[in-house]
C-alpha cells in the first residue's frame, strides 16, 4: 500500500512478524503437550451434558442405543438381577448418588444400574480412575440419563466380599457392593439381598406390609397398614402389590442423612416380596420410611 505520493507504508517489521509467529508456535506446542498425553481421558470422559449414542450391532440406519446400556423403555423386571438407582442430582458433589450406597447382592445375581439423574454416569468397579484394578470386575460404560445399564455379571467374587465402585465421569461418586449368600432354592427374580426367600415368597414372623396397587401415582395411598406397629424382633414381610417396582427404605426421603441406614428392602419388583428385620430398632420409637424410587410414597413404622 502506498500514500498519494507513492511512498510505501510499512505496517510491520520482519522482527515483529517473527515474534508473533513464535508466540503462536509456543501456544500450539503447549496445547499439544497437554492434549496429546490426555487424549484417552478426554475420549473416555465426555462432557456431562452429552447424550452418547452408538450404532448397535446389526442395527439399521438411524437406530441408536445407549453405550453399554439398555433403552429406558426396557423392562425393569430382569430375572436374577439386583437394581441400584443413580439418584437425581448425583452429579453435584456432596449429594447422595447411588441408592443404596452399600448394595447387598446375592452371589450369582447380576446388577443393573438405573440412571435417574439428568446427565450420563457409569458404575465402574474400583476406588477411582487411578486404581489399577478399575473396571476389572464390572463396568457399565456410559448410562445415559433416564436409561438403565445392561445386567452386569460380578466376576470372580465370593460371599462376604465388599466391592467398591465409582462413576468414571464423576469420580467423587462412590459406593460399594457386598456379596451375600444365595438362598437355597431362591427365586432371584429381582429380589434384594436381605430377602429370605423360600419358593419365591419371603419368610415372615409377626407383621406384614403391603405396597398398594396404584401407589406410584402421587396422592394415592402407598402402604398398608400405615402406620405399621410391630414388636421389636419381628420380621416384617413386605409385598409389592403394585405394577411397578418400589422400595421400603428408612428415612423421610433420599436427602435424609440416615436414609437406608436402619433398613432398606432395595428394589422389590411387581408381585415380589422382601423382608425387614427389626432386631436393631429401638422399642418405643417411630421410624419414617419412603420409597427410594418414588420419594413421595411415605409411611411410619412404630416399634413396641
Average pLDDT over residues 194-215: 62
Rounded CA gap, 114 and 271, in Å? 20
What domains can you pick out in the chain, each with its CATH number? Answer: 44-182 (2.60.40.420), 197-303 (2.60.40.420)
At 206, the pLDDT band (50, 70, 90 cuts) reads low
Rounded CA gap, 111 and 161, in Å? 15
Average pLDDT over residues 226-252: 92
Q: What is the mean pLDDT of the chain?
A: 80
| Residues 273/238, Cβ–Cβ less than 8 Å | yes
| Residues 122/96, Cβ–Cβ less than 8 Å | no
Task: Decide which of 110 and 190 is more confident.
Answer: 110
Residue 289: helix, strand or coil by DSSP? strand
pLDDT at position 121:
93
pLDDT above 80 (res 106): yes
Average pLDDT over residues 120-131: 93
Average pLDDT over residues 224-250: 92
pLDDT above 80 (res 67): no
Task: Decide which of 9 and 254 is more confident.
Answer: 254
Average pLDDT over residues 214-243: 93
pLDDT above 90 (res 236): yes
Residue 267: helix, strand or coil by DSSP? coil
Residues of the chain above pLDDT 90, percent = 52
Q: What is the pLDDT of residues 153-177, one digit of tens each?
A: 887 888 889 999 999 999 999 999 9
Residues 6+ apart with CB under 8 A from 79: 188, 189, 190
Average pLDDT over residues 189-199: 36
Average pLDDT over residues 52-68: 41
pLDDT at position 54:
44
Residues 6+ apart with CB under 8 A from 161: 178, 179
Strands 273-277 and 235-240: antiparallel
DSSP 175-231: EEEEEEPPPTT---SS--TT--EETTEE--BEEEEEE-TTTTSTTS--EESSSEEE-
Residues of the chain above pLDDT 70, percent = 74
Rounded CA gap, 71 and 135, in Å? 22
pLDDT at position 200:
37
Average pLDDT over residues 117-141: 93
Residue 20: helix, strand or coil by DSSP? helix
pLDDT at position 218:
92
pLDDT at position 34:
83
At 4, the pLDDT band (50, 70, 90 cuts) reads low
pLDDT at position 20:
87
At 68, the pLDDT band (50, 70, 90 cuts) reads very low
- Kindly state the cell numbers that stand for 243: 405394577
Global pTM value: 0.42
pLDDT at position 93:
92
Average pLDDT over residues 94-116: 92
Give Cα separations from 291 to 17, 44, 80 (angstroms): 68, 34, 21
Amino acid at each position: 500500500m502506498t500514500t498519494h505520493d507513492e511512498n510505501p507504508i510499512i505496517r510491520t517489521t520482519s522482527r515483529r512478524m517473527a515474534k508473533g509467529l513464535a508466540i503462536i508456535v509456543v501456544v500450539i506446542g503447549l496445547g499439544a503437550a497437554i492434549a496429546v498425553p490426555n487424549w484417552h481421558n478426554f475420549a473416555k470422559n465426555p462432557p456431562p451434558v452429552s447424550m452418547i449414542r452408538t450404532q448397535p450391532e446389526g442395527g439399521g440406519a438411524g437406530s441408536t442405543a445407549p453405550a453399554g446400556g439398555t433403552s429406558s423403555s426396557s423392562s425393569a423386571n430382569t430375572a436374577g438381577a439386583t437394581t441400584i438407582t443413580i439418584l437425581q442430582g448425583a452429579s453435584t458433589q456432596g449429594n447422595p448418588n447411588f441408592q443404596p450406597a452399600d448394595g447387598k447382592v446375592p452371589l450369582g445375581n447380576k446388577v443393573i444400574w438405573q440412571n435417574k439423574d439428568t446427565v450420563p454416569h457409569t458404575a465402574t468397579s474400583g476406588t477411582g480412575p487411578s486404581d489399577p484394578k478399575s473396571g476389572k470386575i464390572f463396568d457399565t460404560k456410559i448410562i445415559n440419563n433416564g436409561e438403565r445399564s445392561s445386567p452386569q455379571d460380578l466376576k470372580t467374587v465370593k460371599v462376604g466380599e465388599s466391592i467398591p465402585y465409582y462413576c468414571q465421569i464423576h469420580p467423587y461418586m462412590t459406593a460399594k457392593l457386598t456379596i451375600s449368600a444365595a438362598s437355597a432354592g431362591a427365586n432371584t427374580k429381582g429380589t434384594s439381598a436381605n430377602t429370605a426367600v423360600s419358593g419365591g415368597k419371603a419368610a415372615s414372623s409377626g407383621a406384614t406390609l403391603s405396597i398398594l396397587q396404584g401407589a406410584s401415582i402421587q396422592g394415592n395411598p402407598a402402604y398398608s397398614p400405615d402406620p405399621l406397629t410391630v414388636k421389636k424382633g419381628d420380621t416384617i414381610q413386605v409385598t409389592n402389590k403394585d405394577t411397578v417396582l418400589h422400595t421400603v427404605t428408612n428415612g423421610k426421603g433420599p436427602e435424609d442423612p440416615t436414609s437406608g441406614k436402619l433398613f432398606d428392602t432395595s428394589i422389590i419388583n411387581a408381585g415380589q416380596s422382601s423382608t425387614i428385620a427389626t432386631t436393631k430398632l429401638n422399642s418405643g420409637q417411630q421410624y419414617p420410611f419412603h420409597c427410594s424410587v418414588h420419594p413421595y410414597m411415605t409411611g411410619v413404622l412404630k416399634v413396641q
